[in-house]
Amino acid sequence: MTKSTVRLAILASLLTATASAQQKAGSLAKTGPTTLDPAKPIAITGGKLLTITHGTVENGILVIENGKITAVGAAGSVKVPANAQILDAKGMTVYPGLIDSESHLGLTEISAERNTNDLVEPSDEIMPHMHVADAFHAESALIPVARYNGITNAIVAPESRDTLPGQDSFIQLAGADATQMLLIRDIAMPLNFTGSQRRNESFANAQYPQTRMGMAAQMRQAFTDAQGYVTKWEEYNKKKAAAKATDSPPSTPSRDLKLEALLPYLEGKKPVIVKAEEPNDVETAYALAQEFKLHVILNGLTHSQAIYDKIAQWKLPVILGSIYDEPKEWQRYDAVYKMPGELSKRGVKIAFASFESHQVRNLPYAAGFAVAFGLPYDEAMKALTLYPAQIWGVDDQLGSLDVGKTANVVVASGDPLDVKTVVQHVFIQGRDVPMVNRQTELRDRYSNR
């Protein structure tokens, strides 16, 4: 159907360009190594540019230099540097790299194999001093698989089994090592309140917290302890400052890394990602966050249809829970599919998330499916690019095809949200990342025997 006849014509003068870069969309043909030299300017020409911030440009040109977008516009209006390498994108769609607002990339390889998992520390519910950056496995085989479908950036979060499971990082899906890929460490902290953080529902085996009251009380205590910790240090510092040289110095309070980890959140310097699904949980968790004046980003809301109007009034951004969550027994089949459209209609700023590891690559299809259930197409694209960039505070660098932004750019055979679209090139920081992963290697090994 969309079997593209498009070929990538690459200037013969290029050192690294080879015939293997010519790939028919959807074919079983081998994908070649990277083709374009990131040290020289790159011009992507003739494609349909989905700029996100200033509409669609047919037959557009996008220029990349030194890892940044240096020009965007219609052919004729953009000056292509004389030494630019040309990537002919005629018939292609060009769009900013997609952002997954919650994944577990780098924390797992094989779900059922315990030794390959660093998803969550379940020994206690309050674990704000866990940093996914400490576990992030840059060489994970899952990352090139996600990248293969045009996902260039993601939030890495711990699994949601704990109420406060630790701190998220914001990554890019390419780089020589973890230091290059971890763009922002400890960018935010999940606060999970879905009910599944309770420790045992049976009376016989229950541990604290057995109920939502317990979960809330435990968190309230943790934030209160952190406030007390601040006071203790303030008093100590005051005493120390007031002490004369002849006085014996006040005794130094002992450090507490767990409580210290909560401080940037208590001070509202970083956002807390409040995850809840049912209306009562959403309201309880939101009230708890307000009690401590936390800076809130909502997450989930899959079964909160009844309070969408109220949520909209809170004027908070929302990481959409998985639209594939099954509706409640009494609900119509499409109650959750409609969530993105319903929230968008009410003016809520939304961002899609996969909540996945192996299947991060399917993130754009969920946005496409949401379009089929009422979300305007442009909003769906924004909810994968610009809106998450804004929510995560990186919209000066990411989220649209604009001059000065980081060149995270995808070139694909068609509509980014359609299942059939074949991604041809993924640029991350201006580098044409090889379209190779563990799965293409297995495919090539066994299809060419």
- Catalog residues that contact another protein under the rule CB under 8 A: 1-3, 24-28, 109-113, 141-142, 324, 326-327, 329-330, 332-334, 357-359, 361-362, 364-365, 368-369, 371-373, 417-422, 439-440, 442-443, 446-447
How far apart are alpha carbons 367 and 380 in whole angstroms? 6
DSSP class per residue in 5-58:
-----B-TT-SS--GGG---TT--PPP-S--S-TTS-EEEEEEEEE-SSS-EEE
Report the residue number, 171 or 422, with the smaller CB distance to another protein.
Answer: 422
Q: Which residue lies nearer to another protein by CB, 113 or 309? A: 113
Q: Considering beta carbons, is residue 182 or 323 the nearer one to another protein?
A: 323
Taking the least distance from each CB to another protein, the nearer of 61 and 371 is: 371
Least spacing, CB of residue 388 vs another protein, in Å: 19
For tokens 């360009």, the residue is: 17
Cβ nearer to another protein, comparing 114 with 315: 114
Consecutive H or E run containing 299: strand 295-300
User: Smaller CB distance to another protein: residue 131 or 358?
Assistant: 358
Pairing of strands 423-428, 431-433: antiparallel
Closer by beta carbon to another protein, 140 or else 304: 140
SS3 298: strand
> With respect to another protein, which residue has the nearer C-beta, 209 or 416?
416
Q: What residues contact 332, with CB distance under 8 A and at least 6 apart?
A: none
Matching residue, tokens 């924004």: 382
The radius of gyration of the chain from alpha carbons, rounded to an integer in Å, stands at 24
Q: Which residue, 368 or 376, is less far from another protein as judged by CB?
A: 368
Residue 272, token pair as written in the block: 């807390």
Nearest to 380 by CA among 403, 357, 360, 364: 364
Q: How far is the CB of 1 from another protein (least distance, A)?
A: 6
Q: What is the DSSP string of 98-133?
A: EEEEEE-TTSBSSTT-GGGB----TT-SB-TT-BHH
User: Which backbone phi and psi does 313 adopt, to 5 degrees?
Assistant: -70, -20
* HEC profile of 305-316: HHHHHHHHHHCC
Other CB atoms within a 10 A radius of the CB of residue 403 amount to 12
Q: In the bound complex, what is the minimum distance in angstroms from residue 14's beta carbon to another protein?
A: 27
Residue 351 Cα to chain centre, angstroms: 9
The Cα–Cα gap between 53 and 315 comes to 21
Minimum CB separation from another protein for residue 341, in Å?
Answer: 13
